[in-house]
Structure 1
């Protein structure tokens, strides 16, 4: 498989696993959306002071959907390396932890209405994303690279969350 990757071929040896991985990651986004209310009349829209660099609301679902798809593809690539391998098992475990932390951030920030707890939680999430990125990269370089947009987006989100905390 590594040889195929070097030649630029993305072999889909198990399409059901690929679909399952992408659905799993998007399911996490779907669950997180139950805790997220940014519409008119919400705490986020009407109460919080937000910095000038908050993206328009339409950006978030587009960015997150793309990121969740990339995460699912990365997970697929890792699992295809062999689930019996200890390094794959550790990487998959870290992946599941960061996925749960991703959902938990929405709960901490929006449901608890706590920019402070959201900020603490997103810092922990960022560390787990970094750990997944490194562990995935060591197993399959493409899988590691697929996590870079997620790491970048959550870095931006952490700055945004921290700034909201400071402003409020």
Structure 2
């Protein structure tokens, strides 16, 4: 059970870093961008992302536990780590570098990593794979938002 907190700490560390990059650019850069009509209010994003990061941490822990450790779960957990880092990278590219176009390219790589993560986790623990489906759904919506911000501001 202690390692559950380790998985949660891992994902929330990246969430915190991404949140920092994001928050320092909301009022100074993002506020002036043209956004699509389906853009949620700013307060929605941290609520949704905290829930999704909790599900990610829980799913990673379930795979670790079901596989019997890091070595047996290595491939699936490596994909997991990669997609967490790619998720953080999107924040750096979009908010830190102010590059919606670059973030759009990056998010397609992230989507592929999320799908690979779901498949890898599903093979070890079906529930762990299912827990990542809301993350995929929100990331698809984020892809739409990213594309529209790029189109509306390019």
Give the structure-1-normalised TM-score. 0.86
Residues in 2 aligned to 1:162 and 1:107: alpha-carbon distance in whole angstroms? 16
Alignment RMSD: 1.0
Residues in 1 aligned to 2:26 and 2:90: alpha-carbon distance in whole angstroms? 18
1:15-164 paired onto structure 2 within 5 Å = 15-37=1-23, 38-40=25-27, 42-46=28-32, 48-81=33-66, 82-83=68-69, 84-85=71-72, 88-164=73-149
Secondary structure of 1:34 counterpart: helix
Give the structure-2-normalised TM-score. 0.94
Question: Structure 1: which 5+ residue stretches go unaligned?
Answer: 1-14
Q: How many residues were matched structurally?
A: 150
How far is the alpha carbon of 1:34 from its aligned partner? 1.9
Residues in 2 aligned to 1:110 and 1:73: alpha-carbon distance in whole angstroms? 27
How far is the alpha carbon of 1:23 from its aligned partner? 1.4
Residues in 2 aligned to 1:24 and 1:78: alpha-carbon distance in whole angstroms? 15
Instruction: Indicate the structure whose relative CO is greater, using CA pairs within 8 Å and at least 6 residues apart.
Output: 2
Question: Structure 2: which 5+ residue stretches go unaligned?
Answer: none
How far is the alpha carbon of 1:39 from its aligned partner? 3.5
| 1:26-85 CA distance string (max 9 Å, x none) | 111001112113543x21102x11110100011001000000000000000000121332
Residues in 2 aligned to 1:35 and 1:118: alpha-carbon distance in whole angstroms? 14
Computing the radius of gyration from Cα coordinates, the structure with the larger value is 1
